Amino acid sequence: AYNEWAYEYTQENTERLYFGGLLPMQNPEFAVEEVYRLAGRGCRLALIRPMDAFGNFPIQPRYEPVWNALEDTGLVYGMHPFPAIGLPRPPGYSEQYSAGELIRRTIATSDLRHTFMGNVQNFQAEASLWVTMVLMSGFFERHPKINAAVFEASSTWISFLVDECDKAYKLHRNDRQMPPLK
C-alpha cells in the first residue's frame, strides 16, 4: 500500500519527485516480485531495514534472490535504520536484536533518557552494524553491481568505520574462514 501511495504521489511532478519503495524482507520471494514491480514503475530505490521483522539480518543466504533482483534492475539498496522497540515478536522470530534495540534497552534500564541516545545513537548503531556486516561478509564481492546507500543515520562515523574494517581485515585476513575481500 505504501509503495502504491508513493508512486501516485510522485506522479504530480516526475521531473522533480521520485519514490523509494519498501521491500517486505520477511518474505524474500515476495520482495523479489516487488523489486521487479517497483522497477517497472520507475522506482530507483528499494528501502530495507538492517534486519527483517523476524530478527534476521539480510546478508543471510535466503536473501540472495533479492540482491540478484536489485542487481538485475539497478535499483539502489537503501538501508534505513528503524529500531523497532517494544513491538510484539512474530512466531519464528530469532533471538537476535538490532543494535538500536540494545541501545533502547540500555536507555530503559539505566535511566539515560536523552535525545542523543534515543534519536541519534540508535540509528547510527544500526547503520554501522549493517555497514560492517556487508563490508566484512563479502556481500559486495558477491554482488558487485549493487549500489547501496545509508539513510537517516548521519555520516560522520562512516570514514572511521571503513578505516577500522580495513585495519581489521588486514590484521586478520589469514584467520578468516570466508573468501578474501577486495
pLDDT tens by residue, the chain, 182 residues:
999 999 999 999 999 998 999 998 889 999 999 999 999 999 999 999 887 766 777 788 999 999 999 999 999 999 987 655 555 666 655 566 667 777 777 777 777 666 656 667 777 888 888 899 899 999 999 999 999 999 888 888 899 999 999 999 999 988 888 888 88
The pLDDT value recorded for residue 117 is 61
Dihedral pair phi/psi, residue 21, rounded to 5°:
-85, 150
C-alpha cell at 1: 500500500
Specify the 3-state DSSP secondary structure of 129: helix
Cα angle: 174, vertex 50, 1; to 5 degrees: 150
**76 burial level (CB within 10 Å; 0-12, 13-18, 19+):** middle
The pLDDT value recorded for residue 86 is 55
Rounded Cα–Cα distance for residues 75 and 66 (Å)? 11
Specify the 3-state DSSP secondary structure of 83: coil
The pLDDT value recorded for residue 64 is 96
The pLDDT value recorded for residue 90 is 61
The pLDDT value recorded for residue 129 is 85
H or E segment and range at residue 69: helix 64-73
The pLDDT value recorded for residue 182 is 84
* Cα distances (angstroms) measured from residue 101 to each of 3, 105, 143: 26, 6, 28
Q: Which residues contact 149 (CB under 8 A, 6 or more apart)?
A: 45, 76, 77, 78, 79
Specify the 3-state DSSP secondary structure of 22: strand
The pLDDT value recorded for residue 108 is 75
Rounded Cα–Cα distance for residues 58 and 55 (Å)? 9
* Cα distances (angstroms) measured from residue 160 to each of 16, 21, 29, 46, 120: 34, 30, 36, 26, 17
